[in-house]
Chains A and B, each alone.
Chain A
């Protein structure tokens, strides 16, 4: 403990909470300011919370962010449009395919090729995004459970997420940071055996997803911690710009996949899940039910892919389509030997074409576009500006975690300090997306 002019500063390093409370008991003042984070297991990465407490009641809560700022938007301006997917996929690291999709939809809008993207690429994008929604919601539920002491929810959540990541590894070559959705289509055709793997995944998940409902839905401890916590009504959501499960927990069925369909979502049969309690429990139930809906979409997408064997996955325009056919090996994505043989041994023109497109990139007509997708956390928007060059002039991401985190104060203030954790978990912020 150190003393400054009017205040006393305590440094709590762990397992010394009793010392702190003993010290505070002597003091007449009940008001303490607690700095939580940025390195704390319950703050979802490097989020910093500054809490002012009167006893156990939170009178003021402020969130401090920026600890994971990596300048991705600035870096994008120095790389080609295709290389951009490699950057944006690293923003919100729990939903990389949504970042890629939002960015790519913006670029395609500027190129004017939205309708020319082949059907198989569109279906594969939907398939990957919905698998990603499942893995992201699993982490939300798993970490949210862990933070209130439900460790089994955490272990089984990460167990199932691993299955999704295995599928990603099979299809894209990487478990995370895929850079797989590219302007004009996707990087690679579906590998052999992928549909069978997806099929067995769906069958397994239909059994496993029930476990979460059995463990949590009617569990009195779980409900006691979540019900009525982190309340925010529809008006508050819209004023603060909140979207995704938080908005749907107020009973408003706003889902961009239904209202402003992209990538052919209008062709799939699924429901928008809502709840009417506007609290953390409702958001949990929405995420749980949305995984079932995602599973339905994955099932339909896989069925469509059966009939699209051998169909193109990249736009036909050779001035945009990535020339290299990549191969997926045990160590990720790499060069295709067939393609190397073609450009190095058979065709000078193919080599020039490859060189021009891969090093210089394609030009995007000047203008600006805004493309939004329904990410697991809400509206993920990409504002893409081109000056007609081979590199983005400016790309800004409207990340739902960033916007939703503004609700920390309204959700936490007036409640108990233990409920702050539940509120934050129900927002499900991913700091990679918040700080970019």
Chain B
């Protein structure tokens, strides 16, 4: 799961980094220490009702989807299973007046077995001046989530970006194609096992090697 796995998988030595940087490109001087990457909001963080204030009102309305509630730094997160996602979004929009969706943001937790790919939605109720976060996840083997475009049309480009960067397939999206990377780009760059740099680029039929392989500095 360290960032240099693909390089090693290609059968290359791991210490061919640019400008003498080895392995992960860690500039901290502590690159040799491999630390676990636990998913934030671990199970011990799950809050129990009553949550206080308007949090309870929203939580009660979503009780049908049985979300896990996490309250951290004054922000409330509803962790829902992917089959409940659309129902939750619709309830929030129609029942609780969360008129604006600020988009979806992907997060990759390679250690969260069975739900490595997280999608995080930020919703804003202008009527009540409230914000909530809805988080759902999909396993890497089956990276499918239902598309929220029918509920929040603004999610169109945001879901395309999340697909582009994380490879999450949003079922029901009107045109799920890459948006930032070139159409024929292999892989999904924001995944944790995707390296920073070191990728050869095809351009007009020629292959340009990554900068650290173009010439030798040793």
Instruction: Spell out A's residues near B (CB within 8 Å).
Output: 65-66, 69, 71, 73-75, 77-80, 109-110, 112, 238-243, 254, 259-260, 359-361, 366-370, 372, 379, 381, 383, 385-391, 393-394, 396, 398, 402-403, 405-406, 435-436
Judging by beta carbons under 8 Å apart, are B152 and A367 in contact?
no
Q: Which of B102, B126, B153 has the most CB of A within 10 A?
A: B102
Judging by beta carbons under 8 Å apart, are B129 and A238 in contact?
no
Would A386 and B40 be within 8 Å (CB), given that A69-B181, A78-B196 are in contact? yes
B154 within 8 A of A: yes
Q: Across the interface, which residues of A come within 8 angstroms of B108, CB to CB?
A: 394
B26 within 8 A of A: yes
Judging by beta carbons under 8 Å apart, are B28 and A403 in contact?
no
Would A368 and B100 be within 8 Å (CB), given that A66-B179, A66-B180, A386-B40 are in contact? no
Would A406 and B157 be within 8 Å (CB), given that A360-B28, A398-B102 are in contact? yes
Judging by beta carbons under 8 Å apart, are A109 and B73 in contact?
yes
Judging by beta carbons under 8 Å apart, are B122 and A370 in contact?
yes
Main secondary structure of the interface of B (DSSP, over half): loop
Judging by beta carbons under 8 Å apart, are B122 and A393 in contact?
no
CB B85 to nearest CB in A, in angstroms, measures 17
Judging by beta carbons under 8 Å apart, are A389 and B35 in contact?
yes
* B residues 120-139 touching A (CB-CB < 8 Å): 120, 122, 124, 126, 129, 131, 133
A394 to B119, CA, bound (A): 12
CB A41 to nearest CB in B, in angstroms, measures 23
Q: How many A-B residue pairs have CB under 8 A?
A: 130
Judging by beta carbons under 8 Å apart, are B40 and A254 in contact?
no
Judging by beta carbons under 8 Å apart, are B122 and A259 in contact?
no
Q: Across the interface, which residues of B come within 8 angstroms of A398, CB to CB?
A: 102-103, 105, 122
Q: Across the interface, which residues of A come within 8 angstroms of B133, CB to CB?
A: 368, 370
Q: Across the interface, which residues of A come within 8 angstroms of B37, CB to CB?
A: 387, 393
B101 within 8 A of A: yes
Question: What are the 6 closest A-B residue pairs judged by CB atoms, nearest first?
Answer: A241-B154, A396-B105, A66-B180, A69-B180, A383-B105, A360-B28
Judging by beta carbons under 8 Å apart, are A239 and B120 in contact?
no
Q: Report the nearest B residue to A111, measured CB to CB.
A: B73
Main secondary structure of the interface of A (DSSP, over half): mixed
Judging by beta carbons under 8 Å apart, are B105 and A403 in contact?
no
Judging by beta carbons under 8 Å apart, are A368 and B77 in contact?
yes
Would A71 and B41 be within 8 Å (CB), given that A259-B129, A390-B28 are in contact? no
Judging by beta carbons under 8 Å apart, are A112 and B73 in contact?
yes
CB A284 to nearest CB in B, in angstroms, measures 24
Q: Across the interface, which residues of A come within 8 angstroms of B161, CB to CB?
A: 402
Judging by beta carbons under 8 Å apart, are A387 and B180 in contact?
no
Q: Report the nearest B residue to A390, measured CB to CB.
A: B28
CB < 8 Å neighbour of B152 from A69, A109, A241: A241
B156 within 8 A of A: yes
Contact with A along B90-103 (1 / 0, CB 8 A): 00000000011111
A69 to B129, CA, bound (A): 33
Would A239 and B196 be within 8 Å (CB), given that A366-B40, A370-B133, A435-B180 are in contact? no
Q: Report the nearest A residue to B189, measured CB to CB.
A: A74
* B residues 170-218 touching A (CB-CB < 8 Å): 178-182, 189-190, 194, 196
Known interface pairs A259-B126, A367-B72, A369-B73; 16 further A-B residue pairs with C-beta atoms within 8 A, sorted by A's residue number: A74-B196, A78-B3, A110-B73, A112-B73, A238-B100, A243-B100, A361-B28, A366-B38, A367-B41, A368-B40, A368-B72, A368-B120, A387-B40, A388-B38, A394-B107, A406-B157
Judging by beta carbons under 8 Å apart, are A254 and B126 in contact?
yes
Judging by beta carbons under 8 Å apart, are B103 and A238 in contact?
no
A-B contact pairs, 12 of them (CB 8 A): A66-B181, A69-B180, A241-B101, A241-B154, A259-B126, A366-B40, A367-B40, A379-B100, A379-B102, A383-B122, A396-B120, A406-B156
B54 within 8 A of A: no
Would A360 and B30 be within 8 Å (CB), given that A381-B102, A383-B105, A403-B103 are in contact? yes
Would A73 and B190 be within 8 Å (CB), given that A366-B38, A402-B157, A406-B154 are in contact? yes
B29 within 8 A of A: yes
B27 within 8 A of A: yes
* B residues 142-169 touching A (CB-CB < 8 Å): 152-154, 156-158, 161, 165
Would A78 and B25 be within 8 Å (CB), given that A239-B152, A368-B41 are in contact? yes
A66 to B73, CA, bound (A): 34
Q: Across the interface, which residues of B come within 8 angstroms of A79, CB to CB?
A: 27
Q: Across the interface, which residues of B come within 8 angstroms of A71, CB to CB?
A: 189, 196
CB B103 to nearest CB in A, in angstroms, measures 5
B75 within 8 A of A: yes
Q: Across the interface, which residues of B come within 8 angstroms of A366, CB to CB?
A: 38, 40-42
Judging by beta carbons under 8 Å apart, are A75 and B28 in contact?
no
Q: Across the interface, which residues of B come within 8 angstroms of A360, CB to CB?
A: 28-30
A78 to B99, CA, bound (A): 35
Judging by beta carbons under 8 Å apart, are A393 and B107 in contact?
yes
A66 to B122, CA, bound (A): 23
CB B51 to nearest CB in A, in angstroms, measures 16
Judging by beta carbons under 8 Å apart, are B154 and A403 in contact?
yes
Judging by beta carbons under 8 Å apart, are B153 and A359 in contact?
no
Judging by beta carbons under 8 Å apart, are B157 and A403 in contact?
yes
Judging by beta carbons under 8 Å apart, are A239 and B153 in contact?
yes
Q: Report the nearest A residue to B45, measured CB to CB.
A: A367
Judging by beta carbons under 8 Å apart, are A241 and B100 in contact?
yes
CB < 8 Å neighbour of B102 from A78, A369, A372, A389: A372
